[in-house]
């Protein structure tokens, strides 16, 4: 390992618990797997993720911070060679906010990439990043150039390659998932060879790696498209929930909208009956642009109302009233980069007995009313506390093999607060399977980076090209070096 800069090798150490997903881990680690205490010299290290529910034994965990180049390549090859010699799996991650061990190799080598390396080419509207660079660093580097990430998630904590590997979407419109904005990647295969993948070079590996959850290889760097960073003016429109998708699609078809999302009322007395649409258009006056700000006062203040909703339907109703009436008056013109420069921590629950669990479903706009019916039927019957739902538009992704949007979709992102108990976990699983059944019935899909609660048959329905994906992976990784919980749960038998 000599010559590797700023490298933390956490072999056999309980310190691994504190390295990733910091906010969620540490204090709140109920041993749902029943594997006993995790600290102490004789116990193998474990790794967890943002859910706090994925504690998994691993062989080792290393963090690499080198710029893309020879030192990074040498370090990754060394890890691959060691893992091959000991016949253990390898998986690479960034922030490990995926919630079902999608970035954790059981008994294997976990690698974390973290870096600030970014080279921009403003004339071409492109930038090159080390794979582990987080979006907050991308925003910091692009902002002075008046550029902005074209598509990223609604929070800035995640890694760029990780975003490509889950093929995340955001609320900039009208785009497909983030993979559609990636021009090329450098990928290390299981045999240590380094290849370039793009739409012109190794296109089949490119399509499998996009949304491929790190199962094809280790991405070392990406070249990504940027958008203009403009000052945007919000417009708010409330409407019945059932009318949302049609109105949303019409608003986006007008062409002037740069960012857009929707919300639904989660108060159980009016569950999913009311919707709010928020669209951002460029300010006609683009003089005096300001640097990207962090989390705004309104976001921070709204955390208290957000968390006070737990178990309190009146507060849910109050929050809806505040956001649809007062919030709309407090929000003025804002820079695009400020809108997306939001850390997850802003809404953190700070309660060691609970965890935030996300669900996400994708349905065609025409099926949106049926989707609302399914949710009204299934969610209030469960013990789970739905605190928030946001709605986005995702243009069709016909490139990635594990595509969640083969046709244009409305994405519904739900945030539940779940008790960290076995009973709550079983209830969540039951509710998830019920919802997925209904969503598959209306031709929709669910998102893969969250809890692995779907049944295998549901996975196959939602991702009909899964066996093709597994076959492509086996071709380039015949020893199955790259594995994680997603592979182990659904793909291994294919």
Write out the residues near ligand FAD by the rule CB under 6 A. Answer: 50, 91-98, 102-103, 113, 131, 153-155, 158-159, 161-163, 165-166, 168-170, 213-214, 218-219, 344, 358, 449, 484
Nearer to ligand FAD, 90 or 369 (CB): 90
Q: Least Å distance between CB 105 and ligand FAD?
A: 9
Q: How far is the CB of 474 from ligand FAD (least distance, A)?
A: 17
Q: Nearer Cβ to ligand FAD, position 279 or 484? A: 484
Summarize the chain as % helix, strand, coil (round to 5): 35, 25, 40
Is the Cβ of residue 164 or residue 369 nearer to ligand FAD in the bound state?
164
Shortest distance, position 150 Cβ to ligand FAD, whole Å = 14
* Min separation Cβ 242 and ligand FAD, Å: 24
DSSP label at 212?
Answer: S
Of 363 and 369, nearer to ligand FAD (C-beta) is: 363
Q: Closest separation between CB of residue 329 and ligand FAD, Å?
A: 26
Closer of 388 and 458 to ligand FAD (Cβ)? 388
Q: How far is the CB of 392 from ligand FAD (least distance, A)?
A: 7
Q: Nearest distance from residue 92's CB to ligand FAD, in Å? A: 4
The partner residues of 235 in beta bridges, in order of sequence, read: 279
Reduce the DSSP state of residue 419 to 3 states and report it.
strand
CA neighbor of 224 nearest in space, from 158, 149, 167: 149
Nearer residue to ligand FAD within complex by CB, 62 or 369: 62
- Structural tokens at position 347: 């809404």
Tell how strand 259-264 and strand 334-335 pair up: unpaired
Query: 205 and 190 in contact (C-beta within 8 Å)?
Result: no
Spell out the residues 6+ positions from residue 354 whose beta carbon is closer than 8 angstroms to its own: 28, 310, 417, 418, 419, 420
Distances (CA, A) of 59 to 12, 27, 78, 486: 7, 23, 15, 18
SS3 437: helix
- Closest CB to ligand FAD belongs to which residue? 214
Q: Which CB sits closer to ligand FAD, 131 or 462?
A: 131
Instruction: Identify whether the C-beta of residue 298 lies closer than 8 Å to the C-beta of residue 327.
Output: yes
């Amino acid at each position: 390992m000599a010559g590797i800069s700023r490298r933390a090798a956490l072999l056999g150490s309980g310190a691994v618990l504190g390295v990733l997903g910091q906010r969620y881990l540490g204090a709140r680690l109920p041993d749902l797997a029943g594997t006993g205490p995790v600290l102490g010299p004789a116990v193998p290290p474990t790794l967890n993720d943002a859910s706090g529910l994925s504690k998994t034994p691993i062989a080792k965990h290393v963090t690499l911070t080198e710029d893309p180049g020879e030192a990074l390549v040498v370090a990754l090859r060394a890890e691959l060679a060691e893992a091959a010699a000991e016949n253990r799996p390898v998986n690479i991650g960034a922030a490990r906010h995926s919630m079902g061990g999608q970035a954790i190799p059981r008994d294997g080598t976990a690698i974390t990439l973290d870096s600030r390396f970014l080279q921009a080419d403003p004339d071409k509207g492109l930038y090159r990043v080390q794979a582990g660079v987080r979006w907050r660093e991308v925003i910091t580097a692009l902002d002075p150039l008046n550029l902005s990430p074209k598509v990223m998630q609604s929070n800035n904590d995640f890694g760029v390659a990780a975003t490509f590997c889950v093929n995340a979407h955001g609320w900039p419109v009208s785009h497909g998932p983030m993979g559609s904005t990636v021009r090329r990647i450098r990928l290390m295969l299981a045999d240590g060879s380094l290849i370039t993948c793009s739409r012109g070079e190794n296109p089949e590996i490119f399509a499998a790696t996009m949304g491929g959850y790190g199962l094809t290889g280790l991405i070392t760097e990406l070249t990504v498209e940027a958008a203009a960073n403009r000052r945007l003016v919000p417009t708010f429109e409330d409407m019945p929930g059932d009318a949302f998708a049609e109105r949303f699609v019409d608003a986006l078809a007008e062409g002037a909208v740069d960012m857009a999302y929707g919300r639904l009322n989660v108060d159980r007395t009016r569950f999913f009956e009311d919707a709010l649409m928020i669209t951002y258009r460029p300010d006609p006056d683009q003089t005096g642009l300001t640097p990207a700000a962090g989390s705004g006062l309104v976001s921070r203040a709204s955390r208290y109302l957000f968390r006070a909703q737990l178990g309190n339907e009146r507060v849910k109703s109050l929050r809806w009233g505040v956001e649809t009436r007062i919030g709309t008056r407090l929000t003025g013109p804002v820079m695009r980069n400020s809108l997306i420069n939001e850390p997850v921590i802003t809404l953190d629950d700070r309660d060691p007995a609970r965890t935030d669990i996300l669900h996400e479903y994708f349905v065609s706009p025409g099926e949106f009313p049926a989707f609302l019916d399914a949710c009204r039927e299934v969610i209030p019957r469960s013990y789970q506390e739905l605190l928030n739902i946001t709605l986005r538009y995702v243009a069709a992704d016909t490139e990635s093999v594990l595509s969640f949007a083969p046709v244009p979709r409305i994405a519904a992102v739900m945030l539940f607060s779940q008790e960290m108990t076995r009973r709550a976990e079983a209830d969540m699983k039951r509710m998830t399977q019920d919802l997925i059944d209904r969503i598959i019935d209306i031709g929709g899909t669910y998102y893969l980076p969250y809890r692995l609660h779907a049944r295998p048959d549901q996975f196959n329905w939602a991702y009909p090209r899964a066996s093709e994906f597994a076959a492509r992976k086996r071709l380039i990784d015949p020893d199955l070096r790259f594995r994680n919980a997603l592979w182990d749960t659904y793909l291994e038998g294919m």
